[in-house]
Amino acid sequence: MSNPGKERRDHENYEEYWPFTLEYSNINSQKFLTALKIIKEFIDENINRLLEDGYSQPLYEELQRRVHEFNPKMETSVRKSINQYVKLGFVNPFGKRYHKDLEDYLTAVTDDKRRIIFSKIFYGNSNIQSSWTRDDPKKGHVKFLIKTLEKVKKLCKEDILALMRVDIDTVNEDYISREALDGLVDENWDSDFIDRKYNQLSHLRGVLGRLDDLAYVTEYPHGDCLMFTEYADEQFPDRWRHEGRDPYLQNRYRRLLMQESFEALGEIQCMVSGNTGECIASHMKPFSRCTEDEAYDANNGLYLSEEIDAHFDRGHISFSDDGKIIFRRDFDGNKNSFENFQINSKFLNEKRLEYLDFHRRSVMGNE
């Protein structure tokens, strides 16, 4: 006699889709943050063994015990709560490392800053098909979805459901067109799949709605559709793409600098002049010479007025470790209007000083 339950599970195991479930859906909740902190501290304590041994069942069991001690649940729920941080991109499989912005996420003083950091992590490092015990080579699902959104302008429920069945390794571009997506919607409108994956679809849509600069807008007859809060064409200038910049990550870089200025000064200002006009998210280590981590690291940035950025970008000016302005001999501006400028001390953290040293030596000094 056949076992319908087993047949159903076998079918689910072999069909292609993006498996995505969460134990804690509120990324700002105390449970979410505390469990993440427990995992980070566990990795810090055991990093040598995690790196040397690869997957370790005893270590994994110890981690489960700690998470269960904080929030007693069934064993499957404890594993699910750990695995969600791998899927979201905070932690790599087997606990071999965690995202460099994880500490900033945990210590963020506002939900706005946490939202921007989360968007950067989820977009760039999410690992939907992996878990603590499994490192799946297929990565980049969220980046693929967001780049598709850039092209098609909106993603309704049926669009996201269709995307969840795309094998991204078989797609030539890093997005699909509206025409191709509509074809997938028609092909995959499978009520049985919708019923079986309702929770996973809901979890993915819920997290996407928490990303910076994205929101759901109700459109008849589709219901809530995911859109950029501003048109992607306006948010992501073509020159960014021509320069090799990832538009979504570049905008998170810019937004983090704006948020840092707001939190330190009470309003968004140039970090040097204090002016509130249009500013540039400037790089100390030039983008063209950065690794990806450096390129979108807000510590590598200063939020500068256009006039100051023009001179800083060319290396005609730089700043000392105490923030005071330094002029190169070929500075061609009006020194009198610049000489009292300095970086506000609230922005001079240790990591930023390292990038600033690079700017003095290699941009201003042409090293």
> How far is CA 142 from its chain centroid?
10
Cα 65 to Cα 47, 48, 226, 262, 367, distances in angstroms: 18, 20, 38, 40, 52
In this prediction, residue 6 carries a pLDDT of 38
Q: Strands 325-327 and 317-319, how do they pair?
A: antiparallel
Give me the residue spans of the domains in the chain: 17-108, 141-228, 246-364
Residue type, 138: K
The closest of 206, 208, 80 to 141, measured between CA atoms, is: 208
Report the C-alpha gap between 318 and 359 in whole angstroms: 7
Instruction: Compute the residue count for the chain.
Output: 367
Q: What is the 3-state secondary structure (H, E, C) of 275-325?
A: CCCCEEEEECCCHHHCCHHHHCCHHHEEEEEHHHHHHHHCCCEEECCCCEE
In this prediction, residue 220 carries a pLDDT of 77
In this prediction, residue 5 carries a pLDDT of 40
Cα 22 to Cα 77, 118, 125, 168, distances in angstroms: 9, 15, 16, 22
In this prediction, residue 55 carries a pLDDT of 81
Please tell me whether the peptide bond between 221 and the residue prior to it is cis, using omega within 30 degrees of 0.
yes
Q: What is the 3-state secondary structure (H, E, C) of the chain?
A: CCCHHHHHHHHHHHCCCCCCCCCCCCCCCHHHHHHHHHHHHHHHHHHHHHHHHCCCHHHHHHHHHHHHHHCCCCHHHHHHHHHHHHHHCCECHHHCCECCCHHHHHHCCCHHHHHHHHHHHHHHHCCCCCECCECCCCCCHHHHHHHHHHHHCCECHHHHHHHCCCCHHHCCCCCCCHHHHHHHHHHHCCHHHHHHCHHHHHHHHHHHCCCCCEEEEEECCCEEEEEECCCHHHHCCHHHHHCCCCHHHHHHHHHHHHHHHHHHHCCCCCCCCCCCCCEEEEECCCHHHCCHHHHCCHHHEEEEEHHHHHHHHCCCEEECCCCEEEECCCCCCCHHHHCCCECCHHHCCHHHHHHHHHHHHHHHCCC
User: 231: how many CB neighbours lie within 10 A of its CB?
Assistant: 11
Written as tens digits, the pLDDT of the chain (367 aa) is 334 343 433 434 445 789 898 999 899 999 999 999 999 999 999 999 998 877 889 999 999 999 999 988 888 899 999 999 999 999 999 999 999 999 999 999 999 999 999 999 999 999 999 999 999 988 999 999 999 999 999 999 999 999 998 999 999 999 999 999 999 888 877 667 777 778 889 999 999 999 999 999 998 777 899 999 876 556 666 666 667 889 999 999 999 999 999 999 999 999 999 999 889 999 999 999 999 899 999 999 999 999 999 999 999 999 999 999 999 988 887 888 888 899 999 999 999 999 999 999 999 985 5
If you compute the radius of gyration of the chain from its CA atoms, what whole number of angstroms results? 23
In this prediction, residue 66 carries a pLDDT of 95
